[in-house]
Amino acid sequence: MDDTPATPHKTLKDSKLMRWTMLVLVSFLFFATYWFQDVFSPLKGLMQTELGIDSADFGIVVSATTWANCLGMILAGGIILDKWGIRISAIIFGALVTLGGIMSTLGASDVISSDPGTKLILMAAGRIVFGVGLEITCVIVSRVVVKWFKGHELALAMAINVGFGRLGSFFAVSFSLDLAGGKVMPALGTAAALIGAAFILLLVYLVFDRKLDQQQAAADDGGDEEKFKLSDFLSLLRNPAFLWISALCVAYYSAVFPFISAYGPSILHANFGFDMALPKGFASMSLGDQVTAYLTNGPKIAGLIPLGSIIFTPIFGSLIDRKGRAASMMILGSILLIFSHVTLAFIHVQALAYAALFCLGVAFSLVPAAMWPSVAKIVEENRLGTAYATMFTIQNWGLAVFFYLPGHILKATDKNYTVAVAPFVVLGVISIWLALKLRSADKRADLGLDRPFAS
C-alpha cells in the first residue's frame, strides 16, 4: 500500500514542531503504562514476603493484564476506535487504564483488606482493568502516530514512541525496589500516579486532534471520513502479510515481555549468580565498587534492556525511513532472540550473560522498529485501529501463557530456571520462520516493506 501524499493545504501535521510535540504528549502515556506494567518484576520477592503470595500467585497477578483481552476486548476497542474516532476512544480507555492502576495499587495495600487471598483477587482485578486500558490505549497512540506522521518520519516517530515505553520499563525494573524502601505500596503508588499524569496530557492532545480534523475537513483532505465497517475485519483475515506479521508479533513479544516484566532479575540471580539488591552502604562505596555492584545486580542489568532499546530503536527507525529493509530487520531480530535465550537458559557463564542481554536489547529494538510502521503499509489507514487491535489481541493470548508458564514451571520444578527459560528458545525459532514467511508475502504482494518509508 503506497504512502499517502502530503495534502496541498497546510495543516497542523505539516509543521514538524507540531508533529513532534503531539508525539511527546501521547507518548508519555506509553511511558507511564509500561512503568506500571513492569513495576511488579523487581518486587516479586517483596510481594511474597509482605503480601504472602507464592510464585504461582505472582504469575496470576502479572498475567491478569491479558485475561479480558484474550476474550476479544482489544478487538472490540479497535473497532470502537475505527468507528467512533480517536477522541472518544482515548477518553474511555485512558480512564480505564487509570482506574486499573488505582485498583491494583489499593489492592496491594491494607486499605481494603489485609487478607492475602483478598489482596490477590483485588490486585488481579485491577490488572485486568488496567490491561484492557493498556492495550487499547497503545492501539490509539499507534493510530495517532500514523495520523500525524504518515508520509513523513513514520518509522522514526513510532520508534521514539516505543522508546518512551522502554524508558518506563527501564525505570520500573531498575528503580522500583529503591522506591519501595522495603514496602510494596510506595513503588506501586508512584507508578499509578504517573498514569494519572499521562491521562491529563492525553486530554491536552485531544484539543489539537480536533483542530487537525477540522483543518482536514476544510481542505477536503479525506481525514477519517471513510469509516470502518464490520465486514472489513474479514478482509484482514484474508491478508496473508497481516496474518504473518500478527503471528510474528505474538511469538516475538511472548519471548521478550515475560523476561523483562516478570522473570528476568530472578533468572539472572538463579542461573548467573547476580544479586537481587544493591549491597548495604552502596552510597559510601568507591566508584569502582559501585560499578561492580551495579553490573552484578539482576534488576539493574535487566533494566538495561529497555534502556538500550531507547537508543537503538530510533536509530533503526530512522534507517528504515531512509533505507527500508524492515522485513530483513525482523528476521535479524529473531535470530538474535534465539542466541539470547539459549545462552540465558543453558550457558551459565556470567560473561556471556552480558552478551545475551545485549543481543536481546538489540532484538528488542530491531523488531518493533520494523514491525509497527510496516502495518501501515500492509493495511489501509481506515482499518488500522482494528488491525493493531487484532495484533494486540493475539499477542495477549501468547502473553497470557508465557507470563504464567514460567511461574508454574518454577513451582513444579523447585525453581529450575533453566527449564523455565527453555520455552522462550522455542519462540525464537518460531519467530524466524514467521519473519521469513512475512518477507515472502511482502514480495508476492509488492507491499514495499523493504523500501524506504519516508517520502
Answer with the residue of higher pLDDT: 145 or 278.
145
User: Could you read off the pLDDT of 284-315 as tens digits, one per residue?
Assistant: 888 888 888 888 888 778 767 766 777 888 88
Provide the pLDDT for residue 220: 62
Assess if residue 168 is contained within a domain: yes
Assess if residue 53 is contained within a domain: yes
Range of the domain at 359: 24-213+230-445
Query: Is residue 164 predicted with pLDDT exceeding 70?
Result: yes
Query: Is residue 373 predicted with pLDDT exceeding 80?
Result: yes
Provide the pLDDT for residue 223: 46
Provide the pLDDT for residue 224: 46
Assess if residue 13 is contained within a domain: no
Provide the pLDDT for residue 437: 94
CA nearest to 253, candidates 192, 180, 309: 309
Assess if residue 11 is contained within a domain: no
Q: pLDDT category, 8, cuts 50, 70, 90?
A: low
Rounded mean pLDDT of 169-181? Answer: 82
Query: Is residue 5 predicted with pLDDT exceeding 50?
Result: no
Provide the pLDDT for residue 455: 63
Euclidean distance between the first and final Cα of the chain, in Å? 13
Burial of 121 per CB tally in 10 Å (0-12, 13-18, 19+) = middle
Query: Is residue 54 predicted with pLDDT exceeding 90?
Result: no
Q: Look up the CATH number of the domain holding residue 402.
A: 1.20.1250.20
Rounded mean pLDDT of 84-93? Answer: 90
Rounded mean pLDDT of 61-83? Answer: 77
Provide the pLDDT for residue 180: 81
Provide the pLDDT for residue 1: 44
Instruction: Give the number of domains in the chain.
Output: 1
Provide the pLDDT for residue 255: 87
Assess if residue 17 is contained within a domain: no
Provide the pLDDT for residue 226: 53
Provide the pLDDT for residue 4: 46
User: Could you read off the pLDDT of 422-449 as tens digits, one per residue?
Assistant: 888 889 899 999 999 999 999 999 998 9
- Whose cell is 497470557? That residue is 400
Question: 415 to each of 49, 153, 367, 412, 419, how far by Cα in Å?
Answer: 17, 46, 31, 8, 9
- Whose cell is 528488542? That residue is 364
Q: Which residues contact 136 (CB under 8 A, 6 or more apart)?
A: 73, 74, 77, 78, 81, 89, 93, 96, 389, 392
Assess if residue 291 is contained within a domain: yes
User: Could you read off the pLDDT of 260-288 as tens digits, one per residue?
Assistant: 766 888 888 888 888 888 888 888 888 88
Angle at CA of residue 455, ends 18 and 15, nearest 5°: 15
CA nearest to 101, candidates 169, 175, 36: 36
Question: DSSP characters for 97-165?
Answer: HHHHHHHHHHHHSTTT---HHHHHHHHHHHHHHHHHHHHHHHHHHHHHHHHHHTTSSHHHHHHHHHHHH
Answer with the residue of higher pLDDT: 48 or 252.
252
Most confidently predicted of 22-36, 40-54, 354-368: 22-36
Assess if residue 114 is contained within a domain: yes
Q: Grid coordinates representing 351?
A: 560473561
Provide the pLDDT for residue 6: 45
User: Could you read off the pLDDT of 202-258 as tens digits, one per residue?
Assistant: 999 999 999 998 888 877 654 444 555 666 677 888 899 999 999 999 999 888 888
Mean pLDDT for the chain overall: 84
Provide the pLDDT for residue 194: 95
Assess if residue 72 is contained within a domain: yes
